[in-house]
Amino acid sequence: MRGTVPERPIGLLTDAWRTCVGTGRFDLALRRDYQDSLALVQRDIGFRHIRGHGLLSDGAGVHRPYSYQGERRVRHAFTYVDQVVDAYLAMGVRPFVELGFMPSALACGDQTVFWWRGNVTPPRSYTEWGDLVRATVAHLVDRYGIDEVRGWPVEVWNEPNLTAFWQGADQDAYHRLYEVSAHAVKDVDASLQVGGPALSPGADEWLKPFAEFVTDRDVPVDFVSRHAYTSGPARHLPFGTRQTLAPAADLLEQFAAPRRHLAGTALADLPVHITEFNSSYRPDNPIHDTAFHAAYLAPVLAGGGDLVDSFSYWTFSDVFEEEGVPTAPLHGGFGLLTHRQIKKPTYHLYAFMARLGDEVLARGPDHLVTRHPDGRVAVLAWAPVDVTGREPAPERHTLSLSVPIGPPGTVSAFLLRSSVSEDAGNAWAAWREMGSPHSPRPRQLDALREAAEPARTHRAVPVAAGRADLDLVLTRHEVTLAELTPVVDETPPWWDDRLLDPPGDRQ
């Protein structure tokens, strides 16, 4: 049965899907391969903000205590911070500032997280912590200007409800950290945005006490943040992880959770930012490299902006060392990119989103139809996925639409279709077919780059009475972008498509 796409838009496509993207620890951005990858992401996708851990950890070198004349003093140094932020701005992306983790010389304990040992204990001096936050934010304002920095949200800590990220998952201690941090940010300028509590999935019971705390104590808060993942417990393999997945709709339910839990509180109408989301939170889960993953996340990208102000993919690059240095050239991280800028299917899903129009004409469980101001219609479609793995996914999925395409008098449209699937745009499949080489040679890398490109086809589609019939057959785990452009025929009257004159046919 053919679905009819209405002529009039039913809404606008928000940019919540590309408002922010996640990254590895802050100082990784000093690496050339990291910056090369980010430049490519910005060219093809164009994220507004970037968020990661470790701004205040030892690797960035901001907190520098010293002794002078028998007195402990602190110098705040921003050499690495400036290099990273300068590079971000040059590539058109702005920080989504995360305040964390604790500098070791300020920490009250030695508990750390990740291979790179980010300290997750409270400060031994909240006064010194407040000074650190104040000095860092003041430096950013001084270097980049208040008009610029007031557009950079400042988030206090990361997943304090987990003992791995905050000593004892102590809620009262987090509230105190938030209070000191939020006041320090506002001391610099009242127009700066500050928020939290950056909760992991399954901790929404923290939201109401957080709202009550900031309300009772008149603590500033400009946005609420949460994370969303759908993976189950990790089954560890040598240099890898396998996990179960909940259906992708569960991500959308998690997106909606903060507003549901904050209804009736003073924070009910604040912006909500999902500052991390993905299927798995594990960098060594190869699910991130697959065509399945792109098809799995497609409905989330298509619908998430109706629920939250932003949702940040964790993370854009495999230059990522939470579990150590990557051991394989492909599934070394969560990223949209992998070894030496080989693109993954999820990368292409985001690039397809970047080519959609602003007007939403239709939505369905397997498609999103948009229109550009110049009349082009772009259809994002995806094949359904089965997260149980019990049954093979269907080899074919069909979508038939009647699409409005104008202006009046149009008789033909140019269809450009780009697809990724198990067979197309799939570097993971090609790498496996090569025998999973640990260190691909130059020729293998070239082959992987070519295999990673989407399949592209084109044809003319007839237009009658202002409509074109679009019939898409999607293969297993395929995500496709079909772009229809009205044709203005400028063929001269003497044109002949024959390349050779038939004998005896000359005048």
Active site positions, annotated? 159, 276
The C-alpha atoms of residue 391 and residue 88 are separated, in whole angstroms, by: 44
Closest by CA position to 369, among listed 418, 346, 402: 402
Backbone angles phi, psi at 174, to 5 degrees: -65, -45
The C-alpha atoms of residue 102 and residue 78 are separated, in whole angstroms, by: 16
**Token code pair at residue 347:** 């990368």
For CA atoms 449, 354, 320, 293, the dihedral sign is negative
For CA atoms 47, 51, 55, 56, the dihedral sign is positive
The C-alpha atoms of residue 284 and residue 326 are separated, in whole angstroms, by: 8
Helix, strand or coil, per DSSP, at residue 187: helix
- Residue keyed to tokens 């993370």: 315
- Cis amide leading into 491 (omega within 30): no
- Cis amide leading into 6 (omega within 30): no
For CA atoms 133, 136, 142, 143, the dihedral sign is negative
How far apart, in Å, are the Cα atoms of 478 and each of 76, 286, 368? Answer: 50, 18, 15
How far apart, in Å, are the Cα atoms of 233 and each of 279, 391, 438, 500? Answer: 12, 22, 27, 66
Instruction: Mark out the alpha helices in 217-366 (DSSP H runs).
Output: 249-262, 291-303, 345-353
Helix axes 291-303, 249-262, angle to 10 degrees: 30
Q: Are 115 and 321 in contact (CB under 8 A)?
A: yes
DSSP secondary structure code for residue 28 in this structure: G
